[in-house]
């Protein structure tokens, strides 16, 4: 690890807000997948009920990703305008390409469970998250702020699902495919590229902007926790 990355702003913030960060990346829902304590009969019952109530998590994530695409595109636009490094746009573009892949996967999953994605009702927590993304798409929101958000959103998923694949996991085979989607080495590498760029932008950001980016980071963590919370809650 190079010294810049090790002492970067991002690592400082992760350390400073470790409780919230761990809350997002080691949520009880994720731990129950990793420990294999997720009871499949109850999971299926939950899934069935959730489908009926429109809070099916895959369906919610499909809605989220559909909103995440224009957000990532807005980061791409800012990268092409503001960035002093051309490779930024390439990194974001590769992220957009995998989102296209993700959307196909959601559709395939929906077909497997025989649930039409068009019928999914947006849960309140998800709606809040999508609204937050919308607010970040405004042209006035600084590049370092949106980049911090992009890094945090992707990294929470990466750290959560890679934990389910680490040594000693008892992850049910039915869920391995989903875990590999975000827990893979390739996605980890992508998140590290995002972190490098975020650190570089934050290093140069004025204090005011740095504060905004930190608040944005914390908001992402809260919204991710609320997203996981949908796995055990009914519609709010
Ligand atoms: C809620 C949520 N956070 C992050 C990601 C990563 O793309 C996702 N698919 N969904």
- Please state, in angstroms and rounded to a whole number, the distance separating the CA atoms of residues 98 and 8: 27
Domain that holds residue 131: 3-229
Its pTM stands at 0.89
157 Cβ inside 6 Å of ligand 1: yes
Q: pLDDT at residue 4 above 50? A: no
54 phi-psi bin (left φ>0, alpha ψ -120 to 50, beta other): left
What's 136's domain CATH number? Answer: 1.20.910.10
As a whole number, the mean pLDDT across the chain is 88
- Res. 1 pLDDT band, cuts 50 70 90: very low
User: Residue whose CA is closest, atom 3 of ligand 1?
Assistant: 153
Determine, yes or no, domain membership for 172.
yes
Determine, yes or no, domain membership for 219.
yes
Determine, yes or no, domain membership for 236.
no
Q: pLDDT at residue 5 above 60? A: no
On whether ipTM exceeds 0.85, the answer is yes
Percent of the chain past pLDDT 70, that is, above it, reads: 88
- Please state, in angstroms and rounded to a whole number, the distance separating the CA atoms of residues 1 and 210: 23
The predicted-structure confidence for 73-107, as pLDDT tens digits, reads as follows 999 999 999 877 889 999 999 999 999 999 998 88
Determine, yes or no, domain membership for 196.
yes
Ligand 1 center from residue 39 Cα (angstroms): 23
Determine, yes or no, domain membership for 235.
no
Q: Please state the atom number of ligand 1 nearest to the C-alpha of residue 65.
A: 9
Determine, yes or no, domain membership for 9.
yes
The predicted-structure confidence for 175-228, as pLDDT tens digits, reads as follows 888 899 999 999 999 999 999 999 999 999 999 999 999 999 999 999 999 998
Determine, yes or no, domain membership for 37.
yes
Ligand 1 center from residue 65 Cα (angstroms): 7
Determine, yes or no, domain membership for 154.
yes
For position 25, what pLDDT does the model report? 97
- Please state, in angstroms and rounded to a whole number, the distance separating the CA atoms of residues 49 and 110: 15
- Res. 47 pLDDT band, cuts 50 70 90: low
Percent of the chain past pLDDT 90, that is, above it, reads: 64
Nearest by Cα to 4 from 233, 225, 204, 226: 204
Ligand 1 center from residue 154 Cα (angstroms): 6
Number of domains in the chain: 1
CB 230 within 8 A of CB 131: no
């Amino acid at each position: 690890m190079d010294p810049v990355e090790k002492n970067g702003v991002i690592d400082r913030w992760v350390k400073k807000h470790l409780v919230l960060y761990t809350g997002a990346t080691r949520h009880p829902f994720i731990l129950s997948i990793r420990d294999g304590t997720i009871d499949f009969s109850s999971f299926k019952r939950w899934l069935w009920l959730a489908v009926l109530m429109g809070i099916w998590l895959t369906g919610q994530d499909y809605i989220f990703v559909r909103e995440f695409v224009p957000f990532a595109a807005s980061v791409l636009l800012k990268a092409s305008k503001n960035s002093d490094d051309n490779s930024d746009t390439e990194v974001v573009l590769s992220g957009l390409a995998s989102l296209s892949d993700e959307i196909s996967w959601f559709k395939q999953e929906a077909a497997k469970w025989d649930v039409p994605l068009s019928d999914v009702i947006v849960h309140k927590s998800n709606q809040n998250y999508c609204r937050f993304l919308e607010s970040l798409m405004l042209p006035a929101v600084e590049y370092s702020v949106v980049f911090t958000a992009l890094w945090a959103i992707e990294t929470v998923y990466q750290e959560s699902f890679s934990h389910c694949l680490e040594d000693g996991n008892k992850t049910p085979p039915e869920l391995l495919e989903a875990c590999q989607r975000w827990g893979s080495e390739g996605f980890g590498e992508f998140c590290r590229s995002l972190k490098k760029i975020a650190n570089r932008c934050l290093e140069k950001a004025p204090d005011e902007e740095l504060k905004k980016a930190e608040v944005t980071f914390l908001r992402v963590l809260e919204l991710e926790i609320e997203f996981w919370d949908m796995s055990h809650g009914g519609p709010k």
